[in-house]
Amino acid sequence: MKPTADLLAFFKGGEDQIQAFAQILVTKGIERGLIGPKEGDRIWDRHIANCLPVTTLIPQGVRVVDIGSGAGLPGIVIALARPDLKMTLVEPLQRRVDFLNEVVIELNLPIEVIRGRAQTVKKQFEVVTARAVAPLEELIKISWHMIPRGGALLAIKGASAEDELAGTSLKKGSTAKVHEISLPNLPVARVVEVRKGA
């Protein structure tokens, strides 16, 4: 499957790299079981497109960590769409870490890859992202120590984002909201922002 011009327009200067990443996902990613065999045809519209709306919520030049990055979603996509960011990927499973390191080398990306669970990471990042890693309350628990005051967790969620947020206990002093983001010719996406009080 080929990307639409609208999708490629999010990767100004990085068009070749995002296409190379998509190609790696549908070849090595599927061969190694990191992406389901049926996902090959949907890599652009279902996966890469789903990782883009969150980029509109991230301030310029900040440190971002993507926890549970798996095959690099959304972390690699964010890094390619927003080369101004300092991106780190956190992933506990060695074979996924090996894949991420290969992608980083092959595409020559300035991305740090940390093997481990989010709970064990000692650094801080203004923004934590996550997609399909855990329920919101669990995401807050495992990432809160990484977020400085004023920083935020941005969790890419589906249609039930509002319900999930309503059923989540927030940490004292934090605020949360659901962003419904409509980018040109992309499906509406929902991102839950949980911000640590300044």
Binding stretches for ligand SAM (CB under 6 A) = 67-71, 73, 90-93, 96, 117-119, 131-133, 142
Residue 72 zone, left/alpha/beta (φ > 0; ψ -120 to 50; rest): left
- Count Cα neighbours of 42 within 13 Å in the Cβ-side half-sphere: 8
- Closer to ligand SAM by Cβ: residue 107 or 114: 114
C-beta closer to ligand SAM: residue 103 or 133: 133
CB of 101 to ligand SAM, least distance (A): 14
195 Cβ contact list (under 8 Å, min separation 6):
150, 151, 152, 153, 174, 175, 176
Gyration radius from the chain CA atoms: 16
CB of 190 closer than 8 Å to CB of 161? yes
119 marked as binding residue: yes
- Find out whether 131 is annotated in a ligand binding site: yes
Least separation, in Å, of the C-beta of 47 and ligand SAM?
7
1 vs 166, which CB is nearer to ligand SAM? Answer: 1
3-state secondary structure 64-124: EEEECCCCCCCHHHHHHHCCCCEEEEEECCHHHHHHHHHHHHHCCCCCEEEECCHHHCCCC
Least distance CB 121 / ligand SAM (angstroms): 8
Smaller CB separation from ligand SAM, 27 or 175: 27
Smallest separation, CB 4 to ligand SAM (Å): 21
Residue 68 annotated as part of some ligand binding site: yes
The binding site comprises 68, 73, 118-119, 131
The binding site for S-adenosyl-L-methionine comprises 68, 73, 118-119, 131
